Amino acid sequence: MDKNHLQHQLDMKRSLLDQGYLDEQFIQLEELEDDDNPNFVEEMVTTFYANSARLLQNIEQALGSRPIDFTKLDNYMHQFKGSSSSIGATRVQKECTLFMEYCEAANAEGCIRTFRQVKQEHASLKTKLEDYFKLARQGGPSAGGQAGR
């Protein structure tokens, strides 16, 4: 495998970790990849984004209804936050935490504002991970998981 290519991939990952987009959990996921499950991380991320789109829609709707049901919002966000933490999406998690604090305080404006940030981080991470996996795939069949070691 091209040494530069591998280095590029490692650098990208290191950068994502350093900037706080991803945390240790992402590394843990990579360590679960093997020859029989070489794309586990990408599968997890894909599932996350498919599943979270639905949750975000639910939250959007709940934020639009009057009066706002903060308990419902909190429940949705709790689920969303849990999923984010399972893939190591640190920045997304932080915004989720903030959102839930506003829910508890029944602060609608805070929720609406923070939700924009949640979506932003969520979308931003998606782009970065898409680039990362694309790079991993280009490196060869075992590039994805092995690069982490």
Dig out the tokens for 98 from the structure.
């903030």
Report the nearest approach of another protein to the CB of residue 37 (Å): 7
Nearer Cβ to another protein, position 55 or 108?
A: 55
DSSP-derived secondary structure for 95-145: HHHHHHHHHHTT-HHHHHHHHHHHHHHHHHHHHHHHHHHHHHHHT-TTHHH
Question: CB of residue 105 vs another protein: minimum separation in angstroms?
Answer: 12
Burial class (CB in 10 A: 0-12, 13-18, 19+), 6: middle
Binding site for another protein (CB under 8 A): 23-25, 28-29, 31-32, 34, 36-37, 40, 43-44, 47-48, 51, 78-79, 81-83, 85-88, 90, 93-94, 97, 100, 104
How distant is the alpha carbon of residue 67 from its chain centre? 30
Rank residues 51 and 138 by Cβ distance to another protein and give the closer one: 51
Query: Which of 97, 120 has the CB closer to another protein?
Result: 97
- The span from the CA of 135 to the CA of 129, in Å, is 10
Which is closer to another protein, CB of 29 or CB of 118? 29
Name the minimum Å distance from CB 83 to another protein. 4
